[in-house]
A and B are shown apart, each in its own frame.
Chain A
Amino acid sequence: MSIRVGVDIGGTFTDVALEHPDGLSTFKLLTDYSQPEAAILAGIQQACDQAGVTATDIEQVIHGTTLVTNALISRRGARTAFITTQGFRDVIEMRSENRFEQYDLNLNLPLPLVPRQDRLVAKERVAASGEVLLSLSEEDIADLVHQVREGEYEAVAIGFMHAYANPEHERRMEEALHSSLPQVSVSLSSVVSPQMRELPRFNTVIANAYVQPQVADYLGRLVALMKDSGIAAPVFMLHSGGGLISVETAIEQPVRLLESGPAGGAIFAAGYARAHGVDKALSFDMGGTTAKICLIEDGFSKSANTFEIARTYRFKKGSGMIVSTPVVEMVEIGAGGGSIASIDAIGRIQVGPASAGSEPGPACYRRGGEHATVTDANLILGRLDPEGFAGGAIPLDPSLSQIAIDAELSRKSELSVAEAAFGVTEMVDENMANAARVHTVEHGRDIEHFTMIAFGGGAPLHAGRLCEKLGLERLIVPPGAGVGSAIGFLRAPFSYEATRGLFQRIDDFDCDVVNATLAELEAEASAFVAAGAQDMATMSRLTVFMRYSGQGWEIPVSFDAVHFKKGDETRLVTAFEAAYRTLFGRTIEALAVEVTNWSLTVSTPESPTPAVAIPEHTMQAHVTRTRTVFDAALRANVEASEVARDLMGPGAVVDGPAVIIEAETSTIVPTAYTAQMLPDGALVITRKACAP
């Protein structure tokens, strides 16, 4: 086995996972905002020391970062101009023309990334069919080049109407800019996001241009620093769709680096789903500020082609910026250990989305936090050990939690501190369960049939209760859950998803046009994959976005070929009808079917995942002591067995109520469940009535 390292730069921590012949070493250190690459080197060095390997022996570095997301949220990007079709200058400012919060008279809408004065217009127009209605003149091009020069822009985004159907005008504009202003980086909507719908496409190309100089600079520094340190290994980047791309591709299309951390988490969970033979899994990742939920079916996470970044208002849908780039689909809600609880105008407990973060953090951290948080509530309910938190590194003070909950909740309601603490955890669990339920409904699935895979510092504390609320019978808590994303990076294939808006009605299906487009997509995707995977074998997957004529919303349909023969369109309709029936429970007779977008993914095969054997013999785990823990389903305190996770060998079993402790977190096993340690280090927690 070769030596590889995965590095995930998050908002607070930089996580390192080093894979070497003797196993896996992980390391966590604080993110260095001014010099993130320095923290990477330091982390790699420490992980190497821990594992007893030499950094120069590393053969591959896989990296993911929140750099792009942070640059967009904090608005620290390049001075960017946006060149668009005359008449559509304000698309990114007008957004969807609605308000994401109905009852707030003082609502603020998020500001566009590029202000109006930096949005330049070209006299050109392409029709939906790709036909040119108004040709872009050379004089107009020259004038726009002049404006970019005079405006001293560092980056230019070009987004013309229907450019996905005919990119010629965008390309001519790009060529002119390149030849006159070679130092300016240029992004085209027809390259970055060639899909119908102007708002997400324009947002995507602008985001790409806006972060490009910064990302190019950072990745350049990182690669140079690696070389200087004697690490000759190539660096690959994890993209939002959960695959690897070369540094060069990342520099060209930095918008694909969004959400790489969560994508790593999804790969991590998917690996356990495959190893444990779980065909329907719900990954649940809970940190200090947010919780993320992702569906994993048949061993793979769901993907989407649009998502919303940088939400500005209580994580509300619509309050951010919608972009279209391939992404692992997940829901994120403002629920974490640091989420602040309060009593609202009607006397109800509300939790989040405001968070105490890590500074000052929950009241019990003794860092001056006065708000009652989810962590404070967990401490009061006995779910956290005040001495054992973070392996004893952060001693918790329950009396401060008591004071905060009393002041913020009890005095504003008729609840005792214990009742209020229960109310806080129950409400946050309810919010997460509701989000999970809605997410599965949106995919036409029944959540009862899913197995939960929980990771991230907070998830093992809450996952048991969530399973009870959702009616799930099985929960898997993998090892190394605190650095799950970085471990996930090591399992990622090389992949690239190429998309194209090409409108086709099935009753007027043109095989030749479709095949030509698919061949282009495959060539494009293969080239990007080959840049990293060299001559590894690859496979291609086609997803077709289809709908009934007249509907406004396409559904993704997987198709088993990437080339069409005459008559294949009827097979496509059959696949569409099957997908439609899964989502909506029925099909509609007599309506025409149409395709809007095509998406072709080329990837190397997933790393093989050996199945985990169920231990033949079970034994009772060693119970260190019993402690009093509040069981939410029973609404009562119970005496729970405390077990050290690292002392549980394969086959070790403990019945709920139990608390399984480890340095990074604790796993709560509710009274109704029983936990077993498997040979791969994963805890499998099963409802008692269902245990084998």
Chain B
Amino acid sequence: MTPTAIDYQIMWNRLIAVVEEQATTLVRTAFSTSVREAGDLSAGLFDRQARMIAQAVTGTPGHVNAMAESVGHFAREIGALNILEGDVYITNDPWMGTGHLHDITVVTPVFRQGLHIGFFACTAHVVDIGGRGFGPDAGEVYEEGLLIPISKFADRGEVNAFLIHVVRANVRTPDQTIGDMYSLAACNEAGNRRLQAMLDEFALVNIDALSDFIIDSSRKATREAIAAVPDGQYQYHMRVDGYEAPVDLCVSLTAQGDRVRADFSGTSGASRFGVNVPEVYTRAYACYALKCAIAPEVPNNTGSLDPFEISAPEGSILAAKRPAPVSVRHVLGHLVPDVVLGALHQALPGVVPAEGASALWNVQISARSTDPAADRPPAEVLMFNSGGTGARPSLDGLSATAFPSGVSTMSVEATEHVGPIVVWTKELRAGSGGAGAYRGGLGQIIEIEPRAGYEFWFNAMFDRVENAARGREGGHNGMAGSVELTDGTKLRSKGRQKIEVGQCLRLSLPGGGGYGPPQARAPAAIVADLAAGIVTPAQAKTTYGYEDPNDD
């Protein structure tokens, strides 16, 4: 039976379901909180040439073409003659995988009737990988933990005992980290079973023709969408906090026919600290932003990603060279879309939002007993938190919502069961959304205190404290973030710091920028914001020029 056009459509749908199932398997079996509760993972199917055919939609656009490129590195390093049935490959090399050591990528070759026909790949953020832990303070990647080069996790079905031994000896949470490595391998296996069943049903011996169909039609649809972007060259520049010095992020976007190119020349050089971004991660977020605005409906695969050409100068902070530290590469990575969209706005007015908080405010807490002699166990707590997104051309921004990342926050009650902390506050930050015809999303305020008998260290990795999210088309800036104690003592926004007994950490997350002049905001929307207490009467009056009719 020769597959018809409808059969190919059905199989395409099925492959998307297969990779979703692969991701579901991983979410359910992983140990890492960030995978299970926050969705920090990805999963996908690749053809024999290492072209990505389907990818699950998960919380991490940062993995989108990072993982897509990664499989090519595996295919090359392992070598065609050495790819054998029963093999499983692994790496957490930031430059070969998804940008930092905490992400482990596992690739499993797919065989049918003894012939190699493709690969399943997946990535997950593990609880611990040794080194300094998840934080920006390292001077070189070597300090950030164990690096597993591309290697065989399993060779023809035989798990590499030496590798397990090495990992076990180098990480703080050996059971969980190794458990996650097995989960990754198992999720590829789950995908493989479904794929084989589909190939049985359609009586296919390989996926070559299907892969061509998917990639060609996606490329065609993406190129058509790109062709609708007016030709021209568009520049944008955004200054953000960085670690030891402000960072300038610059992009030049060139649209020409059905091609679009983003070049980050002019961007600041690398940092001495772990906020550097491997280029693969920059490409992932730049591509994600362009795709959202230009071709949101085309599923992710090599055909829909290739048409976006993205580069950053080698050695810049957006294309850090080995052995630069890269542990918290997400901070600047999450800010890349704001830069790209700022340029795209000139080409496509009325499509893209204002700048937002954008970078997640992840807090890694290590709680320790104040009395080493007391029988109080230490605990590690990770929280994901989001500020406000930028206002849209005809909608307010989203308050306390992740963009461009798609991860979820965790329940405070569940977090307080994990470690000896009290979260006194986690609520919207009134007045933090940039004023505009459409208001920026609100940030949030979080207050955390150690429980009696404990103190804690936390790794600050926060941006937009010195540089607020800017409004667009006359919209005002969102409120910048701040890091302090509840008594008002300022703390640093990057790096490891200690909260003593009796002190309470307060994080004020940034708001998103506004869109359009505040005077153009609908009075009803101002009244609603006043009633909800998310703008103050003074703000309504001075910023929006709104006079309360009942006020005399």
Contact = CB atoms under 8 A, between A and B. Distances in A.
Nearest to B179: A588
Contact of B36 (A96, A98, A551): A551
B515 to A, nearest CB: 12
Contacts of B444: 90, 94
A314 to B, nearest CB: 13
Interface string A415-430: 1000100110011001
A128 interface: yes
Contact of A349 (B6, B386, B402, B423): B6
Interface in A378-418: 414-415
B9 A348 contact: yes
Contact of A97 (B194, B402, B413): B402
A96 B59 CA distance: 12
Interface in A87-121: 87-91, 93-94, 96-99, 102-109, 115-117
Nearest to B445: A87
Interface stretch (A167-175, A353-361, A435-443): A435-443
Contact of B10 (A99, A108, A426): A426
A260 B219 CA distance: 46
A87 B447 CA distance: 9
Interface residues of B, number: 89
B176 interface: yes
Nearest to B304: A346
Interface in B463-490: none
Interface stretch (A195-203, A224-232, A239-247): A195-203
B175 A591 contact: yes
Contacts of A551: 31, 36
A198 B413 contact: yes
Contacts of A349: 6, 9
B352 A105 contact: yes
B57 interface: yes
A550 interface: yes
B395 A344 contact: no
A292 B414 CA distance: 31
Contacts of A585: 186
A431 interface: yes
A280 interface: no
B61 interface: yes
Contacts of B423: 87
Interface string B349-374: 00111000000000000000000000
Contacts of B395: 106, 108
A553 B21 contact: no
A97 B29 contact: no
Interface in B383-405: 384-386, 392, 394-395, 398-403
A426 B201 CA distance: 14
A371 interface: no
B347 interface: no
Contacts of A438: 17, 20-21, 24
B40 to A, nearest CB: 11
Interface residues of A, number: 71
B234 interface: no
A128 B413 contact: yes
B219 to A, nearest CB: 10
B29 A584 contact: yes
Interface string B287-300: 00001110111110
Interface in A571-612: 583-586, 588-591, 596
B24 A441 contact: yes
B11 to A, nearest CB: 9
A92 to B, nearest CB: 11
A105 B392 contact: yes
Nearest to A426: B10
Contacts of A415: 5-6
Nearest to A548: B31
Contacts of A589: 175
A89 B217 contact: no
A553 B36 contact: yes
Contacts of A437: 17, 21, 194
A347 B427 contact: no
B211 to A, nearest CB: 15
Contacts of B298: 345-346
A503 B417 contact: yes
A442 B24 contact: yes
Contacts of B352: 105
B218 interface: yes
B28 A553 contact: yes
Contact of B39 (A98, A197, A430, A548): A98
A99 B401 contact: yes
Nearest to B530: A117
Interface in B215-232: 217-218, 220-221, 225
B457 interface: no
A472 to B, nearest CB: 13
A98 B402 contact: yes
Contacts of B175: 588-591
Question: Which of A415, A423, A552 gathers the greatest number of chain B CB atoms within 10 Å?
Answer: A552
Contact of B533 (A117, A162, A584): A117
Question: Which of A87, A161, A344 gathers the greatest number of chain B CB atoms within 10 Å?
Answer: A87
Contacts of B291: 103
Given A87-B447, A105-B351, A434 B13 contact: yes
B190 interface: yes
B497 interface: no
B28 A442 contact: yes
A104 B293 CA distance: 8
B414 A103 contact: no
Contact of A89 (B4, B292, B427): B427
A430 B14 contact: yes
A107 B394 CA distance: 11
Contacts of A87: 423-427, 447
A589 B182 CA distance: 13
A42 interface: no
B197 A471 contact: yes
Contacts of A102: 57, 61, 292, 406
Contacts of B424: 87, 125
Interface in B222-260: 225
A133 interface: yes
A583 B534 contact: no
A270 B539 CA distance: 60
Nearest to A87: B425
Contacts of B14: 430, 434
Contacts of A527: none
Contacts of B179: 588
Contacts of B218: 346
A196 B410 CA distance: 12
B548 interface: no
Nearest to B387: A97
Question: Which of B36, B417, B423 gathers the greatest number of chain A CB atoms within 10 Å?
Answer: B417
Contacts of A161: 412-413
A691 interface: no
A430 B533 contact: no
B84 interface: no
B297 A345 contact: yes
A127 interface: yes
B327 interface: no
Question: Which of B9, B37, B39, B353 gathers the greatest number of chain A CB atoms within 10 Å?
Answer: B9
A427 B10 contact: yes
Contact of A346 (B31, B217, B409, B410): B217
B422 A125 contact: yes
Interface in B317-352: 351-352
A196 B414 contact: yes
Contacts of B4: 419, 635
The 4 closest A-B pairs by CB, nearest first: A87-B425, A434-B17, A103-B296, A116-B532
7 contacts: A98-B407, A115-B531, A116-B534, A196-B414, A198-B411, A419-B4, A427-B13
Given A89-B428, A94-B428, 5 more contacts: A87-B427, A93-B400, A102-B57, A345-B221, A427-B13
